[in-house]
């Protein structure tokens, strides 16, 4: 149900630690960022830029060499972190070192050499090079989906090649200066197993070529049952409208347990509306945010509380400078339980006298949600614009 555009937009490569800050390479699928003209996804192009960041990536690239299976008492440098989910809904929390070693023990010697010792299989010898079936390529060690058949192409290099990842948070990279070359090695984000390398001579729309070892992958054809470790977690979906969706999306995405927040339009009268049609206040749409969350980590009630912090629910058809019914306050529910919780929340806030005026938020069953154009997604984060929405966390 998640859009492919999310998987394609950014591939972030974390390099080594430089002066305490992570040097990060970001390969951005072009969305009109950095001065380029705005294009649709089909004309995305890869950008490569270096930047520093505090580095909240799951992968710790400078951790020690993985221990041999024969030395199980090796020091464990893994730190305990909160669970981390990718936008595609997979648990990408880094596995503890000892768990990776336990999984790697099951591998044959050649697969162990490639995945745990950054080896490379001979060209034109991998079992998945000529695989033309439709399906998902998962990590041979931990099972995380890494690539899909829809992004596979024939590169002529002798290794399976893809122009983008299954999800940008499933594959990470680090600088590789072996063999007298400067290359970017790619690893599984969850278990740090070596996968191959990424080069910038790939085809449109990304311009990237992810060059894989077949031995690092396990292929599951569409319709074939996958093991639990290769499946997304069970999620719940909620919809909120609190004025312009940029800021609402921005802060929902920051909530712990929120897997994906997406800007879009809903509750209108036509299919596939454009932003211009919604802005013109045609067809009854509202700017809304789809919030996909892990109900084990964050409750729907907590999302509701955040909603009533982020915007003014007493304003009829306006928020801040934005006026019109497309900016109305709304909660669009996907179950009877959500409906009851939303109604109860409004009643509680009214009883508490939280707001000086009556709450005018509409509460309705969710109708079809249409994802907004790509340049609206992650708008605050990618543009650095100020956001007037109050941080609810
Ligand atoms: Zn893995």
DSSP code per residue over 375-390: GGTTHHHHH-----SP
Q: Is residue 391 part of a domain?
A: no
Write out the DSSP string of 312-367.
-TTSSSEETTEESGGG-EEEEESSHHHHHHHHHHHHHHHHHT-SSS----EEEE--
Whether residue 62 is contained in a domain is answered as: yes
**Closest-CA residue to 165 (of 10, 1, 382, 377):** 10
- Please give the distance, rounded to the nearest whole angstrom, from the Cα atom of residue 326 to the centre of ligand 1: 43
Which tokens in the block code for residue 157? 């290099």
Round to whole Å and give the CA distance between 265 and 244. Answer: 11
CA distance 12 to 78: 21
The whole-number pLDDT of residue 81 equals 54
Contact 12, 172 (CB under 8 A): yes
* Domain final position from 206, 230, 254: 230
pLDDT at position 281, please? Answer: 84
Domain final residue pick, 230, 248, 265: 230
Ligand 1 midpoint to CA 276 (Å): 43
pLDDT at 288: 95
3-state secondary structure of 373: coil
Between strands 152-153 and 46-53, the pairing is: unpaired
Note the pTM of the prediction, 2 decimals. Answer: 0.69
Q: What is the pLDDT of residue 68?
A: 39
Q: Is residue 339 part of a domain?
A: yes
CATH code of residue 338: 3.30.1060.10
What are 137's two structure tokens?
A: 């390529």
Question: What is the pLDDT at residue 42?
Answer: 30
Compute the distance between CA of residue 216 and CA of residue 296 in angstroms, rounded to an integer. 31
Instruction: Tell whether 42 and 130 lie within a shared domain.
Output: yes
At residue 110, the pLDDT reads: 96
250 and 209 within one domain: no
Amino acid 6: pLDDT? 35
Among the listed residues 139, 191, 244, 387, the single catalytic one is: 244
Active site residue 211: yes
Parent domain of 291? 236-383
> Which residues are found with C-beta within 5 Å of the ion, ligand 1?
139, 141-142, 144, 188, 190-191, 193
**Per-residue confidence (pLDDT) for residue 140, from 0 to 100:** 98
Cα–ligand 1 centroid distance for 206 (angstroms): 23
Last residue of a domain, one of 213, 230, 247: 230
What's the number of domains the chain is made of?
2
Residue 299, burial from CB neighbour count under 10 angstroms (0-12, 13-18, 19+): middle
**Centroid of ligand 1 to alpha carbon of 156 (angstroms):** 26
Report the separation in Å between the CA atom of 157 and the middle of ligand 1, taken as the mean of its atom positions: 24
Q: Is 389 part of a structural domain of the chain?
A: no
Q: Considering only CA atoms, which of 57, 96, 105, 54 is closest in space to residue 77?
A: 96
User: Are residues 195 and 273 located together in one domain of the fold?
Assistant: no
Is 244 among the catalytic positions?
yes
Given 142, 188, 211, 387, the catalytic residue: 211
Structure tokens at 70: 């024969």
Q: Residue 64: what pLDDT?
A: 37
Ligand 1 centroid, distance to 103 Cα (angstroms): 10
Distance (angstroms) between ligand 1 centre and the Cα of 188 equals: 5
Q: Which residues contact 374 (CB under 8 A, 6 or more apart)?
A: 5, 9, 31, 40, 41
Residue 145 lies in a domain: yes
Residue 388 lies in a domain: no
Q: Which residues of the chain have pLDDT under 50?
A: 1-80
Q: How far is the CA of 35 from the centre of ligand 1 (A)?
A: 36
In CATH, what number is assigned to the domain containing residue 201? 2.170.150.20
pLDDT of res. 265: 94
Q: Contact at 8 Å (CB) between 260 and 6? A: yes
């Amino acid at each position: 149900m998640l859009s492919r555009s999310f998987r394609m937009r950014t591939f972030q490569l974390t390099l080594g630690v430089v002066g305490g800050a992570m040097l990060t390479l970001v390969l951005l699928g072009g969305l009109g960022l950095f001065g380029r003209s705005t294009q649709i996804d089909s004309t995305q192009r890869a950008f490569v830029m270096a930047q520093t960041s505090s580095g909240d990536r799951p992968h710790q690239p400078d951790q020690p060499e993985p221990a041999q299976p024969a030395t199980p008492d090796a020091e464990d440098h893994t730190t305990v972190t909160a669970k981390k989910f990718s936008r595609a809904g997979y648990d990408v929390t880094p596995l503890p070192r000892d768990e990776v070693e336990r999984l790697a023990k099951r591998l044959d010697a050649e697969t162990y050499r490639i995945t745990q010792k950054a080896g490379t299989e001979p060209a034109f010898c991998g079992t998945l090079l000529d695989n033309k079936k439709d399906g998902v390529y998962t990590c041979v060690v931990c099972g995380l989906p890494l690539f899909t058949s829809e992004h596979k192409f024939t590169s002529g290099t002798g290794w399976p090649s893809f122009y983008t990842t299954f999800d940008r948070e499933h594959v990470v990279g680090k600088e590789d200066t072996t063999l007298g070359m400067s290359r970017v090695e790619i690893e599984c984000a969850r278990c740090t197993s070596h996968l191959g390398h990424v080069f910038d001579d790939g085809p449109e729309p990304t311009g990237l070529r992810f060059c894989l070892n077949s031995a690092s992958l396990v292929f599951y054809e569409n319709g074939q049952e996958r093991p639990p470790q290769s499946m997304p977690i069970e999620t719940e979906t909620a919809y909120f409208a609190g004025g312009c969706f940029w800021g609402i999306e921005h802060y929902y995405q920051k909530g712990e347990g929120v897997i994906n927040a997406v800007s879009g339009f809903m509750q209108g009268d036509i299919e596939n509306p454009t932003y211009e049609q919604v802005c013109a206040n045609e067809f009854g749409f509202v700017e809304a945010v789809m919030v996909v969350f892990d109900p084990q980590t964050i409750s729907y009630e907590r999302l509701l509380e955040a909603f009533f912090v982020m915007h003014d629910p007493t304003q009829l058809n306006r928020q801040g400078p934005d006026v019109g019914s497309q900016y109305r306050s709304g909660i669009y529910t996907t179950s009877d339980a959500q409906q009851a919780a939303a109604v109860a929340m409004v009643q509680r806030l009214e009883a508490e006298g939280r707001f000086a005026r009556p709450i005018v938020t509409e509460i309705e069953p969710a109708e079809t949600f249409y994802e907004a154009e790509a340049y609206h997604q992650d708008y605050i984060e990618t543009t650095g614009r100020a956001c007037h929405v109050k941080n609810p966390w």
